[in-house]
Structure 1
């Protein structure tokens, strides 16, 4: 089958496009999916750059997100059948294959039927970001109605999913962006206060808008410096959730004084640690999101599409341009 693969870590140009050996055999709990579209995520680039940090097998086929058509199912699979249109997020860990390919075997617990209202491209763009945002807001921070949430980088993939889920939960949303186009984008998603972090003091704006109380929840999708400032934005006994790793020089004193509940969100954990209940939970999140998509209560923004053969250009674009919304690879198979 045709696929994108690499044999050593490095920059985007180490990615190869060509034919690679593939067995279409499914284990009893797997589903063979013919891929129609692939969502591109920052984790794809991290795995490409430092594959030694992840349980991958060379040659590595990258990619977590996919949408396509079921070709075959394992003997114990009873929720899916050939011909079903599905979407999923499954990293290529622990002898699994990534999604930058024409076919992939997927654990049936991670699959959900594709939302009827979405194209394959839109569906492929959705799983990782909506699972991440859902787990961060609902499972970690336990968001409730009328809370105030600060979502950093609201125009990004995870950020724009989080804004929508927070609004559906009945929360007030503050978000940060870097330019006017992204500000207009997050305004359409329902953000209540938009802060341009290039020209405004985020902490000062948050405290002013909350009458110096701070927000109930901060969701950090950016990293160490933003995480550090987040502790000054959250109210005492509030929640800070991050999808990035703190650094050794992170100062936790403000978080301690405020008695902040701090949480980490890594949606790769169920496959990384082979946690069956957690995998089923992620499949259920996708089923609930499919219902919300079809009720037109959620949307996913696609910034640009590429062909599978153009994966090098796509990953470079993601790393250099930081677009609003998601990038997608289209597969002609």
Structure 2
């Protein structure tokens, strides 16, 4: 079979190489999956660089999120067991972690539902306890995890303010349903959020960016607001001023979705059921900006690493180059 492999750490476009390799052999409790679609995630780029908290042994195949097909024909969602990731014709995954692919979504959309939308659901509902009528501020609103948070926020009855970088991404954020869109390239984010909220600020802030975005969040979070830290796409990990959190009376919440798979997998299953229901009634629909053949995976991962994409890119091994 064909699979992309990383033999040394570096930029994805330089270190990912397409090769003919043997199909992976499932271990105990694992299943072999034919990859129908693989979603490109920022952690794929971080793993190529050797900067992610999980460091698979070299060589490894990136691709942490797939829609696959079991040997008995079931269409499922899963997170492949590294080093046999999803940018390949076949991958392996833990049988216990597989979830039925929603019928309302095609392979590319389904491949983008699992990690981003689970992350958004747990961040908004489990960690921040968002309530109808509250204001949600989403940084990188046109990106993969940001676009999921926008849709989930609207489904929860929140007023959603989306921050995006540039006119094209701002337009995407509007199409996603943001009530207010702020272009951080041309607008003062802090002033714009205060104006949109009558000076009150945002009840919940969804931050997958870190760096300057986090600093802005602390200046616009409302009384008893909650900042949910998702990741650090900016490359800068903030050092929060806890005295500031004390004086302004807000909470800083961390969200590592992967922990729920080991600490409370029942919640992951319940979340998937809710996401499937939301997809069935059209309340959520992953934004797939591009669908590329397997041969285009390295370029896709590099562009996600460079921050020039919107939504998700789906790699479809069954599509001819």
Q: Compute the TM-score of the two structures, normalised by the length of structure 1.
A: 0.87
In structure 2, relative to structure 1, the CA distance for the partners of 1:284 and 1:4 (3 Å cut) is farther
Equivalent in the alignment of 1:192: 179
In structure 2, relative to structure 1, the CA distance for the partners of 1:48 and 1:279 (3 Å cut) is farther
1:222 is paired with a residue of what secondary structure? coil
2:264 is paired with a residue of what secondary structure? helix
1:268 is paired with a residue of what secondary structure? helix
**d(CA) in 1 for partners of 2:276, 2:140:** 24
Equivalent in the alignment of 2:109: 122
1:160 is paired with a residue of what secondary structure? helix
Cα shift at 1:183: 2.6
**d(CA) in 2 for partners of 1:256, 1:109:** 42
The answer on whether the counterparts of 1:91 and 1:268 sit within 8 Å (CA) in structure 2 is: no
- The one of 144, 155, 174 aligned to 1:157: 144
**d(CA) in 1 for partners of 2:184, 2:81:** 32
Equivalent in the alignment of 1:327: 313
Structure 1: runs of 5 or more not aligned:
72-81
The Cα offsets for residues 250-297 of structure 1, whole Å up to 9 and x where unpaired, read as 4343222112211112223356xxx1x534433432332122212212
Cα shift at 1:91: 5.9
Equivalent in the alignment of 1:59: 59
Q: Which stretches of structure 1, 4 residues or more, deviate above 6 A after TM superposition?
A: none
The answer on whether the counterparts of 1:145 and 1:170 sit within 8 Å (CA) in structure 2 is: yes
**d(CA) in 2 for partners of 1:175, 1:68:** 32
Structure 1, 245-254 or 133-142: larger mean CA deviation: 245-254
**d(CA) in 2 for partners of 1:312, 1:177:** 25
In structure 2, relative to structure 1, the CA distance for the partners of 1:18 and 1:61 (3 Å cut) is same
Q: Compute the TM-score of the two structures, normalised by the length of structure 2.
A: 0.91
Equivalent in the alignment of 2:6: 6
Cα shift at 1:26: 4.5
The answer on whether the counterparts of 2:289 and 2:310 sit within 8 Å (CA) in structure 1 is: yes
The answer on whether the counterparts of 2:207 and 2:230 sit within 8 Å (CA) in structure 1 is: yes
The answer to whether 1:299 aligns with 2:300 is: no
1:90-109 aligned within 5 A: 90=80, 92=82, 97-109=84-96
**d(CA) in 1 for partners of 2:120, 2:137:** 13
The answer on whether the counterparts of 1:151 and 1:219 sit within 8 Å (CA) in structure 2 is: yes
**d(CA) in 2 for partners of 1:21, 1:299:** 35
Equivalent in the alignment of 2:77: 87
Alpha-carbon RMSD across the aligned residues, in angstroms, is: 2.1
The Cα offsets for residues 203-259 of structure 1, whole Å up to 9 and x where unpaired, read as 111112222111111111211211111011111221000112573654343222112
2:257 is paired with a residue of what secondary structure? coil
Structure 2: runs of 5 or more not aligned:
none
Equivalent in the alignment of 1:215: 202
**d(CA) in 2 for partners of 1:332, 1:128:** 22
**d(CA) in 2 for partners of 1:200, 1:319:** 24
The answer on whether the counterparts of 1:90 and 1:110 sit within 8 Å (CA) in structure 2 is: no
Equivalent in the alignment of 1:258: 248
The answer on whether the counterparts of 2:214 and 2:238 sit within 8 Å (CA) in structure 1 is: no
- The one of 284, 287, 296 aligned to 1:310: 296
How many residue pairs align between the two structures?
A: 315
**d(CA) in 2 for partners of 1:14, 1:237:** 45
**d(CA) in 1 for partners of 2:293, 2:256:** 28
Equivalent in the alignment of 2:17: 16
